[in-house]
């Protein structure tokens, strides 16, 4: 009887380690599935492209339903949240539209600096209508100027129009009308774009370039043959990206708002 008891105990002990190893393996598989591609959320794609003009583009591709517009007052990398920097700001005031479902990212509706306004100018703003699931760029000074199906079911990110389909007038629109800062300086750049299929592209450079060089690199490399429209976002030291293990800190400054990629 004693021998049978020892055999039973040994069997249980062996089984325990087998089940423990299986459990650890399953947990590892699930964790790898949830945080695939070295920490990049499921349904999100990251790529790096170097254009012929030397501009290095870091690009995150996702669905518009996976986008959130958040106020962070932190460096994007330090926030530990996948995404890129958002629109223009000054100290604790947002100078670009950043609204989710009727609520600005940095305060209350119609409050200055909250993300309700593109301050001073009608500027290019990407709007995603959650009802129609359509994207477009609207030039607006305020959320009140935007068009959507339901004022509680949309997001809108402001910047400066890139006018992808208008090579003859884009510079005049971006610089003379919408006042893109430092267009001819070589600086880090950021952008938000979308294609004809409704995919969003968040783009940040790790090389300094002019606005024209940046725009040309995007036209030649992003959703080639299918790119619909884009806007310039804040740039220079504010150009920041976190995509899993890929970290672009800009000049390490804090930004007020970022475009978060949540995944599926």
Q: Taking a C-beta distance cutoff of 8 angstroms, is the pair 170, 163 a contact?
A: yes
> What are the pLDDT tens digits along the chain (264 aa)?
555 555 555 555 565 555 554 444 443 333 333 444 578 888 899 999 999 999 999 999 999 999 999 999 999 999 999 999 999 999 999 999 999 999 999 999 999 999 999 999 999 999 999 999 999 999 999 999 999 999 999 999 999 999 999 999 999 999 999 999 999 999 999 999 999 999 999 999 999 999 999 999 999 999 999 999 999 999 999 999 999 999 999 999 999 999 999 976
**Could you tell me whether strands 103-104 and 98-100 are parallel, antiparallel, or unpaired per DSSP bridges?**
antiparallel
Q: Taking a C-beta distance cutoff of 8 angstroms, is the pair 28, 211 a contact?
A: no
Taking the C-alpha atoms of residue 57 and residue 50, their distance in angstroms, rounded to an integer, is 6
pTM tops 0.75: yes
Burial of 6 (0-12, 13-18, 19+ CB in 10 A): exposed
Domain ranges of the chain: 1-34, 41-261
Q: Which of 226, 207, 202 is nearest to 41 (CA)?
A: 202
* CA 229 from centre of chain: 15
* Sign of the C-alpha dihedral computed for residues 158, 163, 169 and 171 taken in this order: positive
Taking the C-alpha atoms of residue 192 and residue 137, their distance in angstroms, rounded to an integer, is 11
């Amino acid at each position: 009887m004693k021998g049978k008891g020892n055999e039973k105990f040994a069997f249980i002990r062996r089984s325990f380690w087998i089940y423990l190893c299986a459990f650890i393996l399953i947990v590892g598989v699930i964790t790898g599935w949830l945080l695939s591609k070295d920490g990049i959320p499921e349904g999100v794609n990251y790529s790096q492209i170097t254009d012929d003009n030397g501009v290095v583009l870091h690009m995150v591709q996702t669905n518009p339903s996976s986008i959130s517009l958040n106020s962070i007052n932190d460096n994007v990398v330090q926030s530990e949240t996948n995404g890129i920097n958002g629109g223009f700001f000054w100290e604790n005031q947002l100078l670009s539209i950043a609204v989710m479902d009727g609520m600005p990212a940095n305060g209350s509706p119609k409050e200055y600096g909250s993300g309700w306004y593109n301050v001073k100018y009608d500027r290019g703003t990407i709007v995603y209508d959650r009802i129609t699931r359509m994207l477009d760029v609207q030039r607006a000074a305020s959320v009140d100027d935007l068009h959507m199906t339901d004022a509680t079911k949309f997001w809108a990110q402001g910047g400066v129009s890139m006018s992808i389909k208008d090579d003859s007038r884009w510079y005049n629109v971006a610089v003379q009308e919408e006042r893109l800062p430092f267009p001819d300086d070589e600086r880090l750049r950021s952008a938000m774009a979308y294609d004809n299929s409704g995919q969003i592209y968040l783009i940040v450079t790790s090389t300094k370039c002019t606005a024209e060089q940046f725009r040309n690199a995007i036209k030649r490399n992003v959703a080639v043959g299918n790119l619909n429209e884009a806007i310039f976002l804040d740039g220079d030291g504010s150009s920041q990206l976190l995509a899993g293990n890929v970290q672009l800190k800009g000049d390490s400054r804090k930004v007020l708002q970022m475009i978060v990629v949540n995944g599926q």
